[in-house]
Amino acid sequence: MSSHIFVDETKRAGYVIAALTVSDTEAIRKTVQALVLPGQRRIHMKHEQARRRRVIVSALAAMQIQATVDDAARRYRTDLAARTACHCLVEDIASATAILGS
């Protein structure tokens, strides 16, 4: 079974990037789709209330997901340097995933 990598970033409190490695994407998609409320097209934590965020995070934490989070703002002085470092992190994760999957 092959792994997939999903990446998201925020610049709200510096520059933080999260990369998730998922092996069973179908199960993950079903779980996430079940969390989408009537009238919603998708989940975006920015738009969720604190209680709902806890429900979503609990459901995601129960799944077989490997996450890597990098807070580059603590190590780099500019957005460009932080962004470059984070993109290198994602490339490293993709390489490691490809090696483990073969």
- Cβ contacts of residue 97 below 8 Å, gap of 6+? 3, 5, 21
pLDDT tens per residue, range 39-92: 999 988 888 999 999 999 899 888 878 787 878 777 777 778 877 777 777 777
The pLDDT, as a whole number, for residue 39 is 93
| CB 14, CB 82: distance < 8 Å | yes
**What is the pLDDT confidence band of residue 1, given thresholds at 50, 70 and 90?**
low
Residue type, position 39, single letter? G
What crossing angle do the helices spanning 25-35 and 50-61 adopt, rounded to 10°?
Answer: 160
Residue whose structure tokens are 């994407």: 25
- What's the whole-model pTM score? 0.60
> Above 60 in pLDDT, residue 102?
no
6 — phi, psi (to 5°)? -120, 135
The pLDDT, as a whole number, for residue 29 is 87
